[in-house]
């Protein structure tokens, strides 16, 4: 259970292995009982043309059954143990990567450097740095925008944050948005843009921003261009972060959110907590989000595949798209992103 967490598919696989172990143990116990309960007959009686005692024959058969059961149980346990070691090794390896990334970040801060990568200096010196983050569900946009914000010196503008902020503050737009959410309806494009418009007009976004969560369709992309054009601005570059579908499923299936503070996130494979099911930061209970189920992830991936191509094609024709792989350690992807953005704008 600790290894599988809330992943139903993995849990079922481990349950099947455990059934195999219990079956072998049951066979072994049955074989032992058979040996003990065999009737004895006088030595020398003929059984099947031999002069061996019947209880001796039964004992040999029972011992053989016990040996086979032991071997079968050992094989199953060895296989389970090997897979457990593989999972733990992967988790430790990922933890080491996170620690190394933190150490690099700390070393950079301690040395007084404002950024980690050489290309960051060129990007920080630009008058305009308006970036749209794109990529499939699980591509790493949520992770990368935190690192890129610090590296490039521009604020992160995230759709989810905008929704929560407006709903919490009870703005007119927030009230209208909540009405759609409560009814399970899609939020109209114009309403989402109304959420975005005042945020992009705030002083910290004057030079640039990292936009995550929008646009989700071609109409939204065109509306964003329109509101930026009112101030003679435009999107400078679109960073498209790509990963394989199965990697996305793996990332979401292992993600755990703290029930006390949703900003505390861990991963059963890549960033496991010290105590299973308990948040390392605040001690809250960890849970798998309903939206992270395999079925919902599949639906979100299909929605992405149908909506993304027209958006990407629009920005490609304008020469504003740069594509990178989202695989690998977090800071490696960050460096890849910084270099790609710089190359696209040079």
Preceding omega of 215 cis (within 30 degrees of 0): yes
Q: Which string of DSSP letters, residue by residue, matches 232-283? A: T----EEEEEE--HHHHHHHHHTEEEESS-TT-EEETTTB--SSTTB-TTT-
- Calculate the dihedral angle through the C-alpha atoms of 12, 17, 21, 23, rounding to the nearest 10 degrees: 70
Taking residue 267's Cβ as centre, other Cβ atoms within 10 Å add up to: 20
Residues known to be catalytic = 141, 216, 255, 289, 300
Taking residue 340's Cβ as centre, other Cβ atoms within 10 Å add up to: 18
Contact in structure between 162 and 241 (CB atoms under 8 Å)? no
What pairs with residue 47 in β-bridges? 50
CA distances from 96 to 40, 159, 267 (A): 64, 31, 14
Contact in structure between 286 and 204 (CB atoms under 8 Å)? no
**Could you give the CA distance from residue 193 to residue 195 in angstroms, rounded to a whole number?**
5
């Amino acid at each position: 259970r600790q290894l599988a967490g809330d992943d139903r598919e993995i849990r079922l696989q481990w349950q099947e292995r455990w059934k195999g172990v219990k079956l072998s143990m049951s066979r072994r116990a049955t074989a032992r009982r058979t040996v003990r309960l065999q009737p004895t007959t006088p030595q020398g009686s003929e059984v099947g043309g031999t002069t061996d005692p019947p209880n001796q024959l039964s004992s040999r058969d029972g011992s053989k059954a016990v040996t086979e059961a032991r071997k079968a149980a050992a094989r199953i346990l060895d296989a389970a143990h090997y897979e457990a070691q593989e999972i733990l090794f992967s988790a430790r390896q990922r933890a080491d990567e996170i620690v190394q990334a933190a150490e690099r970040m700390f070393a950079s801060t301690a040395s007084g450097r404002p950024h980690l990568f050489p290309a960051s200096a060129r990007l920080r010196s630009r008058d305009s740095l308006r970036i749209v983050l794109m990529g499939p569900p699980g591509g790493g946009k949520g992770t990368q925008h935190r690192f890129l914000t610090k590296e490039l010196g521009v604020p992160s503008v995230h759709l989810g944050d905008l929704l929560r902020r407006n709903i919490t503050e009870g703005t007119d737009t927030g009230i209208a948005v909540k009405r759609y959410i409560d009814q399970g309806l899609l939020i109209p494009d114009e309403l989402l843009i109304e959420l975005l418009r005042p945020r992009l007009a705030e002083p910290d976004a004057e030079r640039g921003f990292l936009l995550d969560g929008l646009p989700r369709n071609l109409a939204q992309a065109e509306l964003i261009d329109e509101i930026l054009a009112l101030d003679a601005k435009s999107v400078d570059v679109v960073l498209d972060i790509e990963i394989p579908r199965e990697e996305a499923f793996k990332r979401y299936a292992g993600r755990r959110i703290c029930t006390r503070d949703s900003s505390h996130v861990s991963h059963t494979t890549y960033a496991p907590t010290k105590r299973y099911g308990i948040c390392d930061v605040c001690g809250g209970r960890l849970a798998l989000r309903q939206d992270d189920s395999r079925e919902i992830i599949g639906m979100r991936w299909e929605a992405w595949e149908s909506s993304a191509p027209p958006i990407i094609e629009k920005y490609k024709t304008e020469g504003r798209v740069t594509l990178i792989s989202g695989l690998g350690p977090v800071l490696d992807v960050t460096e890849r992103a910084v270099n790609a953005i710089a190359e696209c704008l040079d």
